[in-house]
Amino acid sequence: MQFIDLATQQRRIRKKIEANLARVLDHGQYVLGPEVAALEERLAAWVGAPHALGCSSGTDALLLALLALDLGPGDAVLVPAFTFIASAEMVSLAGATPVFVDVAGDTYNLDPLKLQRAVVAARTSDPRLHPLPETGGRPLRPRAVIAVDLFGLPADYRALAELAQAEGLSLIEDAAQSLGAQYQGRRAGALAPLAATSFYPAKPLGAYGEAGMVFSVEAELDAVMRSLSRHGMGQQAYEHRRVGLNARLDTLQAAVLLAKLDIFAEELALRQEVAGRYTQMLAGLEAVRTPTVPEGCTPAWAQYSLLAADPGARQGLRDRLAAAGVPTAVHYPKPLHLQEAYAPLGYVPGDFPVAEYTSERIFSLPMHPYLKAQDQERIVAALAGE
Ligand SMILES: *Cc1c(COP(=O)(O)O)cnc(C)c1O
């Protein structure tokens, strides 16, 4: 049994992928070939965002969005403490300071009330309201919020957008795990004015290598990010208007993604079925808590993650599954504020209790559109110790 089965998907669309790749080999435009624009157009329309910019990874998509906001020293970007490191890492690379915020215990996404306190604390340099990063006495200026749709479940955008508006903050959606998810009738990637997604092979819509995309509402921001992704280029060749990077989307990856996009909606429906079966089968099992899905949300189910009662119980359950030949994974074993990379910010254990509690108990089961009911029965039987 595999944690994510990409081979079954490939068997379904292998011919289409080969035809798409062959077309690129024939036209030879390996960089910014027509497939890149075609993918941008199709995904912008599908997601419901006015602009889409293909780029080299989800991490670079976040970086481009942050660079477009012109951040600098003293600027603070609020980020959940429980997520993949890229969400915070790019804040630092863009020259700003990440201010971590605890997540909600039921959804593992940003808790809007804690976010509100964090914004006020950062603005007034008052660590009694919320644990703040070490800045050597420099005041922080809250500029943006990165909301992560963790495991494919959209964050609470109604509350987040209201807060961002009231506080004058840019809201960025980290939709790396949630492409295909829906929130109150809108699709992930269009839940904030700026959204970054990833086509890393294991994500819901995965390429055969590194790739990502930034969705945006404002034409001006899209143009700036497009320029930034191409060495800050202007209108003419070798005219550079700003310092940028090389973050273009590969034509070959776009060709693969176009083939996968044809079956993506169907795969999302299959993911929904697989997740529904897990939740039903696990309903009577006291040892684990199944995912919470708020009203009006349809997750993309990048992960199906369970919460064990305590760290020892998690290890016991994972051992039992491993003995039955079932792979599991932990997303994520250490919250960001306790990572060595962020030691200079001076956070300590206890700063974000929900992130810490969750990281010690969470684990993910195999999850992909082609997981069969009988395999899920085996997984649940192993979890139950049968
Ligand atoms: C995967 C991921 C990213 C980064 O995407 P890459 O394409 O791997 O660079 C960013 N944020 C989150 C939440 C992710 O899961």
Of residues 354, 353, 351, 376, the one with CA closest to residue 365: 376
Q: How confident is the model at residue 258 (pLDDT cuts 50, 70, 90)?
A: very high
pLDDT at res. 255 = 98
Using most ligand atoms within 8 A of CB, pick from 4, 55, 57, 59 the residue to mutate for ligand 1.
Answer: 59
Residues 6+ apart with CB under 8 A from 336: 79, 80, 81, 82, 83, 85, 87, 88, 98, 100, 342, 355
Q: What is the mean pLDDT of residues 292-301?
A: 98
Residue 151: both structure tokens together: 């495991």
CA of 336 to the centre of ligand 1 (A): 14
pLDDT-above-90 percentage for the chain = 98
Ligand 1 nearest atom to the CA of residue 148, by list position: 13
Residue 1: both structure tokens together: 């049994």
Residues 6+ apart with CB under 8 A from 254: 33, 35, 36, 38, 39, 54, 211
Of residues 315, 303, 310, the one with CA closest to residue 361: 310
Q: How confident is the model at residue 231 (pLDDT cuts 50, 70, 90)?
A: very high
- Residue 335, strand partner residues: none
Apex CA 52: angle with CA 47 and CA 54, to 5°? 120
**How far is the C-alpha of 82 from the C-alpha of 153, rounded, in Å?**
14
Ligand 1 nearest atom to the CA of residue 62, by list position: 10
Q: For ligand 1, atom 5, which residue shows the shortest CA distance?
A: 58
SS3 136: coil
Ligand 1 nearest atom to the CA of residue 198, by list position: 7
pLDDT at res. 137 = 87
Q: For ligand 1, atom 1, which residue shows the shortest CA distance?
A: 176
CA of 214 to the centre of ligand 1 (A): 12
Q: What is the mean pLDDT of residues 231-236?
A: 94
Q: What is the mean pLDDT of residues 203-210?
A: 98
Going by the DSSP 8-state scheme, the letter that residue 152 receives in this structure is G
Residues 6+ apart with CB under 8 A from 148: 79, 80, 83, 84, 87, 109, 110, 155, 174, 176, 177
Q: For ligand 1, atom 6, which residue shows the shortest CA distance?
A: 58
Question: For 98-155, how does the pLDDT look when each residue is reduced to its tens digit (9 = 90+)?
Answer: 999 999 999 999 999 999 999 999 999 999 999 999 998 899 999 999 999 999 999 9
Q: How confident is the model at residue 386 (pLDDT cuts 50, 70, 90)?
A: confident
**How far is the C-alpha of 131 from the C-alpha of 118, rounded, in Å?**
8
Of residues 378, 373, 382, 384, the one with CA closest to residue 274: 373
Q: Which residues line ligand 1 (CB under 6 A)?
A: 57-59, 83-84, 86-87, 148, 174, 176-177, 198, 200, 210, 212
Q: For ligand 1, atom 2, which residue shows the shortest CA distance?
A: 176
Question: For 25-46, how does the pLDDT look when each residue is reduced to its tens digit (9 = 90+)?
Answer: 999 999 999 999 999 999 999 9
Ligand 1 nearest atom to the CA of residue 150, by list position: 13
Question: For 336-375, how does the pLDDT look when each residue is reduced to its tens digit (9 = 90+)?
Answer: 999 999 999 999 999 999 999 999 999 999 999 999 999 9
**How far is the C-alpha of 143 from the C-alpha of 315, rounded, in Å?**
40
pLDDT at res. 298 = 98
Q: What is the mean pLDDT of residues 294-321?
A: 98
C-beta of residue 130 within 8 angstroms of C-beta of residue 114: yes
pLDDT at res. 2 = 95
Residues, the chain:
386
CA of 323 to the centre of ligand 1 (A): 30
Q: How confident is the model at residue 92 (pLDDT cuts 50, 70, 90)?
A: very high
pLDDT-above-70 percentage for the chain = 100
Helices (H), the chain: 6-27, 34-47, 58-68, 86-93, 112-124, 157-167, 219-228, 251-261, 264-281, 311-323, 353-361, 373-383
pLDDT, the chain, mean? 97
Give me the sign of the Cα torsion angle 290, 295, 301, 302: negative
CA of 136 to the centre of ligand 1 (A): 30
Using most ligand atoms within 8 A of CB, pick from 79, 174, 210, 249 the residue to mutate for ligand 1.
Answer: 174
Using most ligand atoms within 8 A of CB, pick from 87, 149, 197, 364 the residue to mutate for ligand 1.
Answer: 87
CA of 57 to the centre of ligand 1 (A): 8
Burial 314-333 (b: 16+ CB within 10 A, else e): beebbeebeeeebebbebbe
Q: For ligand 1, atom 10, which residue shows the shortest CA distance?
A: 86
- Residue 362, strand partner residues: 307
Using most ligand atoms within 8 A of CB, pick from 55, 56, 84 the residue to mutate for ligand 1.
Answer: 84
C-beta of residue 298 within 8 angstroms of C-beta of residue 181: yes
Question: For 57-72, how does the pLDDT look when each residue is reduced to its tens digit (9 = 90+)?
Answer: 999 999 999 999 999 9
Residue 204: both structure tokens together: 């819901």
pTM flag (> 0.85)? yes
- The total of other beta-carbon atoms located within 10 Å of residue 37's CB is 14
Q: What is the mean pLDDT of residues 173-188?
A: 98
Q: What is the mean pLDDT of residues 145-170?
A: 98
Q: Taking 90 as the threshold, does the pLDDT of residue 18 lie above it?
A: yes
- Residue 250, strand partner residues: 31
Give me the sign of the Cα torsion angle 342, 347, 353, 354: negative
Q: Taking 90 as the threshold, does the pLDDT of residue 13 lie above it?
A: yes
Ligand 1 nearest atom to the CA of residue 149, by list position: 13
